[in-house]
Amino acid sequence: MTGRLLLAFCVLSVAALSFLLGGAVMVIGLPPSQSMRGAVNAMLGQLIPAPDRDPGSAYNAIFKLWVTPRSAEAGVTRIDRDAVEPGYTLYTDLTAEEARLVDIDGHLVHRWSLPLEKIWAPDDDAPAPADYEALRWEKVRIFPDGSLMAVVMASNATPYGRALVRIDRESHLVWKNLAHIHHDFDIAPDGRIFALSHRLSDEVPRACPSCRPPSSRISCWC
């Protein structure tokens, strides 16, 4: 009986020590931590329902993408007409794949929107995003003819960024680039487009010789 108790104590001690060491690895950020975190997130992505942008959802409890609004008020809730510049405001948010142009009082002047199926075709080299990725427009730019350029982002995807698209005034797709473009872009006077992109690489960058794959796969922000 004493031998069995000693064996059980040893097993529990090893399990507790392993748990503590695993937690320390994750907190400190030692090389295995990124692989472990990726495996955990992949498992959660399969087990937890797709995000519904509900702050109380199980998905949001893990990934913390949305918060409860501070107020039920919407639109322009306060305005100082002596301090504000006249004109229109173009904006996007996390609620949809769209951009809105509003006047100084918050009235909608124009709206651009392009659903997922209008961007990705079955024969595209880049696969269409999964349902759980929660697409949104992160950066938009309007042109004199009413067309719009937008960076299409996803809340839970790696590599980061999904596409750069241009649509006309009526939200018809003009062209698309399905590279992993994210956050921002700029257009040179000659029409060239400069954008940030993301890729994963197993090569050790010269600037970070301590980054050693495959224990820590490297994110390259270009």
State residue 32 phi and psi, 5-degree precision: -70, -15
pLDDT digits (tens, 9 = 90+) for 88-102: 999 987 667 899 999
CA 156, 158, 164, 168: dihedral to nearest 10 degrees?
-30
**Residue spans per domain, the chain:** 2-63, 89-221
Strand partners, 163: 152
- Count of beta carbons in the 10 Å neighbourhood of residue 164: 22
In terms of Cα–Cα distance, which of 187, 203, 134, 192 is closest to 162? 134
pLDDT value, residue 143: 94
| Lowest-confidence pick of 32-41, 86-95, 145-154, 191-200 | 32-41
Which structure tokens are listed for 181? 């473009």
Average pLDDT rounded to a whole number, residues 187-200: 88
Q: Name the pLDDT band for 221 (thresholds 50, 70, 90).
A: low
Using an 8 Å Cβ cutoff, are 172 and 161 in contact? no
Tokens 């949104």 -> residue: 136
pLDDT digits (tens, 9 = 90+) for 133-189: 667 888 899 999 999 999 988 766 677 788 999 999 999 999 999 988 888 999 999
